[in-house]
Amino acid sequence: MIKIQKGTKDILPADSYLWQFLEDKAREVFSKYGAEEIRTPIFEATELFARGVGDTTDIVNKEMYTFEKSERSLTLRPENTAGVVRSFIENGMHRLSAPVKLWYKGPMFRYERPQAGRQRQFNQVGVEVFGINAPTADAEVILMAINYLKAIGLNDLSVEINSLGCPECRETFKTKLKEVLKPYLNDLCPDCQERYEKNPLRLLDCKVEECKQIYSKPEVQAVIQSDFICESCQEHFNELKKYLDTLNIKYSINKLLVRGLDYYNRTVFEIKSNNLGSQNAVCGGGRYDSLVKNLGGEDTPAVGFAMGMERLISLLGSFDKDITTAFVISNDSLEALKLTEEIRANGISAEFDLSGKKFVKQLEKASKTAKYAVIIGEDELKNSQVTVKNLKTSEQNTIARSDLIKYLGN
Ligand code: HAM
């Protein structure tokens, strides 16, 4: 017996209605903001992620599914911002009038240790907005995320924001951080010792207790909590906060929020749930003003987010799924087939018994799968009528067959 791979999951019919719900809501909410769907390939050149996401990140260093084909190194996408940016550049979307707002959904692949809320193949729904420097775009993107979460019924979430500054002001911060941590370098975990050299900002993300204790020392905290960002980055951040305040969006500022991907500058944000274990981020995003240029495009600012759909599903719980509207019941299967098709042709879902079961068994099946039983007994057949039984309330009416569509439609 060949089994499913570790860190992957089947989405079975018992749950697929939840996925369809998330996808329908994405289309509905994001299109209200003028965003259009983009679908990019699931594998891309490895170099795209190495250059895009950053070759000092865990995602690129440890988690990519990379394979060789025709002497090319290819990688299953670990995230979709790099792919969308590649497509934006390749299809000349900078020529479109800004902002260009794109949304997507689909599977991503990361070779991580599977645990609750963390899979090796998982799905994201996300938004990328190109062409706007102003913090209005940051605010709108955060708003799109919150309103999507509201639309699917999730309210009990907290928004965290931070500003990573621009490459210039971040350099000063990195130098100060390295300076204050130098005496503790040998006490840091091996990962942090590497981060210290290659990507000091990522130090703040470490989950190892000994490192966390070092980072909570007063002199280290003084550097972390300092307002290191330059005047224009500060102004951008202040404007964003003003917009969020005006929109009554509650948020907290988390100076430790640095995100695990290298392309961010200025605004970063995460939306977290209190009802998920350690993997509690349902949404992560931020501004990435240099990525389009770094990947060979015109200088184009951008901001976006992605949400983990499995995490959203686990917060949703279940609700009444849409069941078939009508189940046609008759001892004459040809009559049942004809009427079922007529109902379907009018845009209403319908089924009938395909296996030649007795009348009572057909009714039993109907009550499990449909809202209404549409019964064609001998009398009904003679009088061109049908009996419609509401399977929840048991209310029953015999009506003219020609009135059926209107009746079900109502
Ligand atoms: P990310 O924070 O790496 O950002 O992922 C976004 C979300 O995907 C996470 O908050 C989480 O809900 C979900 N996620 C990540 N890894 C896993 C996993 N192994 N299993 C289940 N869910 C997972 C990005 O991917 C950026 N591309 C977001 C972005 C878009 N930034 C700007 N634009």
DSSP calls for 94-155: GGSPSPEEEEEEEEEE-----BTTB-SEEEEEEEEEES--SHHHHHHHHHHHHHHHHHTT--
pLDDT category, 388, cuts 50, 70, 90? very high
- Using CA positions, which residue lies closest to atom 23 of ligand 1? 308
In the reported structure, the alpha carbon of residue 23 is separated from the centroid of ligand 1 by a whole-number distance in angstroms of 17
Q: Give CB contacts under 8 A, 24+ apart, made by 91-95.
A: 93/130, 94/130, 94/131, 94/292, 94/297, 94/298, 94/300
User: What's the one-letter identity of residue 90?
Assistant: E
Amino acid of residue 83: G
What is the 190 CA–ligand 1 centroid distance (Å)? 25
Q: Closest ligand 1 atom to the C-alpha of 80?
A: 27
| pLDDT tens-place string over residues 105-142 | 999 999 999 999 999 999 999 999 999 999 999 999 99
- 244-290 pLDDT, tens digit per residue, is 999 999 999 999 999 999 999 999 999 999 888 888 999 999 999 99
pTM, two decimals, is 0.90
Percent of the chain having pLDDT more than 70? 100
- Who's near 342: CB < 8 A, 6+ residues apart? 405
pLDDT at 39: 98
127 within 8 A of 60, measured Cβ to Cβ: no
* Mean pLDDT for all residues in the chain: 95
What's residue 155's pLDDT? 86
CA of 284 to the centre of ligand 1 (A): 6
The pLDDT, as a whole number, for residue 323 is 83
Q: Over the stretch 195-237, which tens digit does the pLDDT of each residue have? A: 999 889 889 888 899 999 999 999 999 999 888 899 999 999 9
Closest ligand 1 atom number to CA of residue 53: 27
Question: Are 310 and 283 a contacting pair, CB within 8 Å?
Answer: no
Containing 294, the helix (H) or strand (E) segment is helix 291-294
